[in-house]
Structure 1
Amino acid sequence: MKRVFISFRHEDKSQVNGLRLLAANDKFDIEFYDESVQTAIDSQNATYIKSKIREKIARTSVTVCMVSGLTYTSAWVDWELETSFAKGNKLIFMGLKNGPETIRLPALAKQLGLPWFLWDHDHLARLIEAK
């Protein structure tokens, strides 16, 4: 079973909820983990929240960043991606359904020259399943 961490801006949570339907599809052996937070990354709560998110990332081999027009502004998304990359997770960047056709990627994606894809749940499932 592929275990996948989902990284996204808290404000995009309602759109991301549909992604979890892939886990219910019999064609795919996928389990999702995520943590939606609104706490400032430098707050006192951040240390505790980071420890909980790090535990979830530790149980995964793939991180899917669901990208909206403002995802690049999220310090939490940046931290989740950096933590996932340091762990060795495969990183996938997928635009949200009905999202913009041009976006600005988070810093790590730009630094690594990683592509992003317009929303396509079948393509996303294949990307997750691929080695």
Structure 2
Amino acid sequence: MARKTFISYKYSEARELRDSIIESMGKDATYYTGETSDSPDMTDRTTDYIREKLKDMIYSTSVTIVVISPNMIKSQWIDWEIEYSLKQVKRGDFSSGTNGIVGVVKKYNGDYTWLRPRNNKFDGCSTLGTNEKYMYDILNKNRFNQEPKVYACENCKCVDMLVGSYISLINEEDFLNDPNFYIENAYEKSKHSKGYILSKKR
């Protein structure tokens, strides 16, 4: 089932990936509410104006896709968009739900090791690490936050990449190959958010 989505990204380095994500969604992109290549330029608008427009875009969505790129944390908007996506916002008689959130890791210099180095455990298991310096605190705090934790491997205490964190990180190639699968995974976690310790503030 199609979900209303919003993409949070740093324009200067991720707009092409934004376009690829929208294209990969096919007919489900009808339910996408964020910026596109045809959106009006708001760089000369006031901060308050931009914030209100972003609120309107995010309010009715159920899943936020965050493009994780090397200079993402230099954006003045992405962490705010994530925070707003996680809030339950009341408008009149209606309240928005807490969005599911999925991080799409941008390929950089040919691979993903800039953010996701592979670690070899003492027991022979191989797991993906996360270089947290490239991500906002609100992203890091919503990783590995399943409660109670369910370990995919009891020996090395690693968790399943899709359910062990409220915000899963997916390589761009995997996401573009089957966006609906990962969007639906994020949505399902939002419907069972009591199974996670959520951090909703930046």
Give aligned pairs, total.
125
Structure ID, larger Rg: 2
Cα offsets for 1:26-81 (capped at 9, x unmatched): xx576222248774xxx970111111110110110000001111112212001100
User: What residue is the counterpart of 2:85 in the other structure?
Assistant: 84
For 1:6, the equivalent position in structure 2 comes to 7
Matching residue's letter, 2:136 = P
2-structure distance, mates of 1:106, 1:64: 15
2:138 to 91, 101, 108: 108
Q: Which amino acid aligns with 1:74?
A: S
Matched, 1:22 2:24: yes
In structure 1, C-alpha distance between the alignment counterparts of 2:3 and 2:77, rounded to whole Å: 23
Percentage of pairs with the same residue? 20
TM alignment of 1:1-131, pairs within 5 A: 1-11=2-12, 12-25=14-27, 31-35=31-35, 39=43, 45-87=46-88, 88-96=98-106, 98-99=107-108, 100-101=111-112, 102-103=114-115, 104-113=134-143, 114-119=167-172, 120=174, 121-130=176-185, 131=188
TM-score by length of 1: 0.80
Aligned-pair distance for 1:105? 2.0
> C-alpha displacement at 1:3, in angstroms?
0.5
Q: 1:56 to 1:9 in 2, by over 3 A?
A: same
Q: Which amino acid is 1:21 matched to?
A: E
Two-structure CA RMSD over aligned residues (Å) = 2.5
* Structure 1: segments with no counterpart, 5+ residues: none
Match of 2:193 in 1: none
Query: Using the alignment, how far apart are the partners of 2:11 and 2:82 within structure 1?
Result: 15
Which consecutive segments of 4 or more residues in structure 1 shift more than 6 A? Answer: none
**CA–CA distance in structure 1, aligned partners of residues 52 and 73 of structure 2:** 22
Bigger share in helix: 1
- Alpha carbons 1:109, 1:115 under 8 Å: kept: no
Q: Structure 2: 5+ residue runs without aligned partners?
A: 89-97, 116-133, 144-166, 189-202
**Distance across 2 between alignment mates of 1:125 and 1:30:** 13
- TM-score normalised over the length of structure 2: 0.54
Would you say the 8 A contact 1:7–1:64 is kept in 2?
yes
